[in-house]
Amino acid sequence: ETGVTQTPRHLVMGMTNKKSLKCEQHLGHNAMYWYKQSAKKPLELMFVYNFKEQTENNSVPSRFSPECPNSSHLFLHLHTLQPEDSALYLCASSQVGGTTDTQYFGPGTRLTVL
Amino acid sequence: KNEVEQSPQNLTAQEGEFITINCSYSVGISALHWLQQHPGGGIVSLFMLSSGKKKHGRLIATINIQEKHSSLHITASHPRDSAVYICAASIQGAQKLVFGQGTRLTINP
């Protein structure tokens, strides 16, 4: 596997379900990000992790809970979501402190909350 | 008003036409990114600019720091260029990107 991978690619869940999104980066980067892309809205930053430590929480509701066990893996745990949380969730990684802060994106997980 | 604004929101053109997508920003930036998003969601980084101009194949990106404006140009456009093009600003002093709303480009054969 190369680049940034995300699983699952599609997820349908009820409002009472608990599920997790997984992201893995194979680029040796030290920072990882979760973004949300809702229909007809710009991409929104949700969380930033540097060296496994959360450095940004962009006022995200507590029903979204991130976890970064190491610099290659990032999870987004979901519970009691609302239909308006249906969106494309994108993970990205970058090398902080290098010559470029280009972020590399995964393919996204398209989430539908019923 | 968004901190990053793109225009137009939608653009349809014929194959071979010269395409320009514009991006204006109102915040201090360390760099400006152009991204391409194909149907299905995957995002690819095209350019990262902090000054001047960059070229890659048929794509050219320019930035004017004083005017807080960037443009993405596509020469000899092709149907495979059809995608959403997103402008994103790296905020100065912060490790975050602020995104424009995207420009949906459709190139007809």
Query: Looking at chain B, which residue has its C-alpha nearest residue A5?
Result: B42
Of A53, A27, A50, A49, nearest in space to A105 by CA: A27
Residue to substitute from A88, A102, A110, interface B, most B β-carbons within 10 A: A102
Interface contacts (A, B; CB < 8 Å): 57
Alpha-carbon gap, residue A97 to B81, rounded angstroms: 33
For residue B11, the model assigns a pLDDT of 97
Length of chain A: 114
| B101 touching A (Cβ < 8 Å) | yes
**Residue A5 in contact with residue A24, Cβ under 8 Å?**
yes
Alpha-carbon gap, residue B62 to A30, rounded angstroms: 29
For residue B47, the model assigns a pLDDT of 92
Q: Which of B90, B95, B100 sits opposite A48 (nearest CB)?
A: B95
Of A103, A101, A77, A73, nearest in space to A89 by CA: A77
What pLDDT digit, counting tens, does each position of A40-93 carry? Answer: 788 999 999 987 777 777 789 999 999 999 989 999 999 999 999 999 999 999
Q: How confident is the model at residue A1 (pLDDT cuts 50, 70, 90)?
A: low
Q: How confident is the model at residue B65 (pLDDT cuts 50, 70, 90)?
A: very high
Which residues, including other chains, have CB under 8 Å from residue A99's CB and lie 6 or more apart? none
